[in-house]
Structure 1
């Protein structure tokens, strides 16, 4: 992996006003809003509703940040950047690895900021729980980074942003990231199981509720990682073969 290119890519993303406003700012505002609406009552799982909302918004922000990396990939395809790759020492796998790594790097500060807000708000987690949930959620964001890359390789620079934004709404709402599933209609809980964001949420919540089955969420997310990864490799090979 070209670390110089990776460093430049991360700096370019972090300096973007859109990153600060939409990727970090919106989940924080939604956490504070929904946390105030649903109060601090204890759910059947034994977890405070505000804590569950914090985990959901952290997952929403991190997955959204990873997905939106695809918009940059689409723009680079439109601008002919992949043609330039053939004139540089960096090859396709290195380019793809940098894009996934930059998406993961974008997801981390989103989690840190939302967890910091939750800490200041007084969420009842121990130091070990804060650290564990941060690591687990960050690792579980990887499938969304690859999925965003797949979207970027199929779309165009002027449309991928809108498509990704439209995709994040059902992923957040139906995946149970916005509102605790315990207070939603039963059919929404059933639909949630088909959303990768539901399993990302499970990775963040199961250890806190002492619920067994986190491994199931890990297996499902692994499937959401492998399938888009195969699509990415295939699509990238077809793109470069046409250049």
Structure 2
């Protein structure tokens, strides 16, 4: 399993076009979204400036882009090319395959997080304590594993032709409804009640709590743990199911 993890990480780092897109895209969106607000403008109900709030949202969005978009389409292509069939001839368990994919995705997501932080600090003058920068990096990076597992599940659930539109629908729905593009506090109340149970909302909320020097809300932690178990378990089950079909 360790050999597969190393191979997956090497393959992810060789995909320069995808790395370029996933690393720069969220930083560019951060600059666009934050340009319309003054340096002192705050997001209602949070006490955070627009730039500080959007920094976490776009770093989370960047990590989501890297792990979800990359995993799902890559796995669907591997199924069609016969690579997964070769893995079935080994003793690799389903959980080992899921772990290898999530680990490689986590390596790709880290640069996208760091670039958003650098741009926020250099261009928008976002200032935090050293422990907050470190905690934000760790929390957003670790939280991306939830969506890496989702990418694996979609890659096994959808065919090669259908995987991209399915991934895009899930990607944009989670980003928009989870409050990554705009504060969830601007939603109607009924939509806010839905958003607070989405993994993307809980994901960004962890980082926002750190920015406010507060402990993460237990509900947000529980939501992420639940969805990680759901996505990872579903991905492993779909891997075994696909194996039985072969």
Q: TM-score, normalised by structure 1?
A: 0.90
Structure 2 residue aligned with 1:180, among 177, 180, 183? 183
Aligned to 1:20: 19
Q: Is the 8 A contact 1:63 1:141 kept in 2?
A: yes
Structure 2: give runs of 5+ residues left out of the alignment.
none
Take 2:17 and 2:194, find their aligned partners in 1: how far apart are those partners? 31
Q: For each residue in 1:70-94, what CA deviation from the matched residue of structure 2 results, as whole angstroms up to 9, or x when unmatched? A: 2111111111222211344645443
Q: Is the 8 A contact 1:66 1:141 kept in 2?
A: yes
Q: TM-score, normalised by structure 2?
A: 0.89
Aligned to 2:57: 56
Describe how 1:2-81 pairs up with structure 2 within 5 A.
2-3=2-3, 5-40=4-39, 41-43=41-43, 44-68=45-69, 69-81=71-83
- SS where residue 37 of structure 1 aligns? coil
The ranges of structure 1 where at least 4 consecutive aligned residues each deviate by more than 6 angstroms after the TM superposition are: none
Take 1:235 and 1:88, find their aligned partners in 2: how far apart are those partners? 17
Aligned to 1:238: 241
Take 1:72 and 1:33, find their aligned partners in 2: how far apart are those partners? 30
Q: Is the 8 A contact 1:153 1:236 kept in 2?
A: yes
Count of residue pairs the alignment pairs up: 242
Which is worse superposed, 180-189 or 80-89? 180-189
Q: Is the 8 A contact 1:74 1:155 kept in 2?
A: yes
Structure 2 residue aligned with 1:161, among 164, 172, 175? 164
The answer to whether 1:191 aligns with 2:190 is no
Q: Is the 8 A contact 1:75 1:158 kept in 2?
A: no
Take 1:39 and 1:19, find their aligned partners in 2: how far apart are those partners? 33
Over the aligned positions, Cα root-mean-square deviation in angstroms equals: 2.0
Aligned to 2:96: 94
- SS where residue 35 of structure 2 aligns? helix
